[in-house]
């Protein structure tokens, strides 16, 4: 990455090596990082190297928290509840092992 690069991860915390990212930020290898997910969440200690890094912004895993997502989830739940009440197969049933 370029020195003015910004790493953004809103996918999976394990995709980013936290120690390596903290090191490259500290050494100025990239400008900043924005993370919605961090390896080991939700139990991230206060002394985690990325928590202490001033050029790293960590969000509380809210990347999917949009109005569109909430409407879609409510619609899926309502359709499942209606189908179950009518004795029909649920269109989005969970498959438990």
Give the residue numbers marked as catalytic.
Answer: 61
φ, ψ (nearest 5 deg) of residue 6:
-125, 125
Strand partners, 7: 33
């Amino acid at each position: 990455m370029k020195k003015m690069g910004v790493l953004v991860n809103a996918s999976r915390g394990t995709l980013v090596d936290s120690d390596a990212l903290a090191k490259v930020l500290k050494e100025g290898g990239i400008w900043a990082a924005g993370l919605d997910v961090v390896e080991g969440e939700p139990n991230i200690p206060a002394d985690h190297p990325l928590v202490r890094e001033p050029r790293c912004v960590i969000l509380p895993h809210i990347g999917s928290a949009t109005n569109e997502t909430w409407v879609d989830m409510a619609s899926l739940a309502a359709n499942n509840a209606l189908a179950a009440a009518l004795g029909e197969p649920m269109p989005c049933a969970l498959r438990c092992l």
